[in-house]
Amino acid sequence: MQLRMVRQVAVLAALGLAILGTSAPAQVQVPTVTVAGVGYVNYAYQLRTDSSIVPVGHGNNFDVARAYIRALGKFPGGVQTQVTIDVDGRKAASNQQTFRLKYAFVAWTPEGSPLTYKIGAIHTPWLDWEENLNDYRMQGTMPFERAGYITSSDFGAGVDGMWHYDAVSAQAGIYDGEGYGNAPGDAHKVVSGRISVRLAHSDLAGRTGGLRLSGYGEVGKSTGGGNRMRYIGLLSYKSKALTLAAEIGGAQDSTAVATPKLKGQLLAAYAVFNIPNSKAAVLARVDQFDPNTDSTAVTAAARLAVNKQTRVIAGVSYVVSPNLRVLADVDLNSVAGGSPTNAFDKTRQTFYFHTEFKF
């Protein structure tokens, strides 16, 4: 009897050891859906007088410059979805805010692959990357977007890639070319792409950390058959304390097949210094934009129409909490020639108090 009990205990012990030694089954990814948002609220005081105000004075307003609400889904098999609503706080002619669908796409990353494939209203290759580098979208749009040459989202299909822990990152796609805020246009398309190569490390990882050389290109046809071309080259350095960047970009556009190309050029540089052992930072930026490098305008009115501009931005920011950051800055825009009208002149030199909140 005792021998039988010993055998039963031995068998049970062996089974227990076998179970413990067996690898646990692979965890099944649980679908998740998260909702997040960001908003930019500011106060603007115009440093130049506005003759349309009675009596003549300095325009000033509180404003919700932008708000985004994002729903992000992650599912088994490397599938992701995203829907982002863009609310433009500045009221349209109808005296209503503008609600737009900025992103709405499905993405798939095959297991073990460095590539992610997307289709829908998706990120265009350059701006999402540069906004991550600059980290001050709260102040305003990036240089090439502010010049009106590119947009952050468009309808199309593309692929993102990352190799050797972000030593090389790239993105490319084919798009309608009209931007997410406009109708898709006709049969013409544009192809654009970005590549960023890390030349040296810093104490900050990620796709924008370290010393990097980055480039962007776009070619195609706009609605109506006109030519469309853009290029950007950027040298940057980003660490936990310092961001430095210098870029040069150009564009060639024609509104139809038979019209001549309009050549534009943009030079920009910006810097951010995060003051050690504090929550404060200082920033500076210079944009020089020439919308028509071939212009030979002579009269003041013609030079103003060409509107070659130099913009200088300087400010100080402070992190109140991980969900709230504030920024005080001046945004000064000068023109190369001509006599600005009141409509243009009253808004080209502004003091801002920005807030950025996240949830």
Residue positions counted in the chain: 359
pLDDT given for residue 185 in this prediction: 82
Alpha carbon 357 to chain centroid, angstroms: 17
pLDDT given for residue 144 in this prediction: 96
pLDDT given for residue 299 in this prediction: 58
First to last CA, the chain: 69
- Residues in Cβ contact with 67 at an 8 Å cutoff, skipping those fewer than 6 apart: 37, 38, 39, 40, 86, 87, 89
pLDDT given for residue 27 in this prediction: 56
* Phi, psi values for residue 275, rounded to 5°: -65, 125
pLDDT given for residue 254 in this prediction: 83
Token reading at 304? 């103003």
pLDDT given for residue 224 in this prediction: 82
For the chain, what is the HEC assignment?
CHHHHHHHHHHHHHHHHHHHHCCCCCCCCCCEEEEEEEEEEEEEEECCCECCCCCCECCEEEEEEEEEEEEEEEECCCEEEEEEEEEECCCCCCCCCEEEEEEEEEEECCCCCCEEEEEEEEECCCHHHHHHHHCCCCCCCCHHHHCCCCCCEEEEEEEEEEECCCCEEEEEEEECCCCCCCCCCCCCCEEEEEEEEEEECCCCCCCCCEEEEEEEEEEEECCCECEEEEEEEEEEEECCCEEEEEEEEEEEECCECCCCCEEEEEEEEEEEEECCCCCEEEEEEEEEEECCCCCCCCCHHHHHHHCCEEEEEEEEEEEEECCEEEEEEEEEEEECCCCCCHHHHCCCEEEEEEEEEEC
- pLDDT < 50: residue spans in the chain: 1-26
Distance, CA of 63 to CA of 207 (rounded, Å):
33
Query: What domains appear along the chain, each with residue ranges and CATH number?
Result: 28-358 (2.40.160.10)
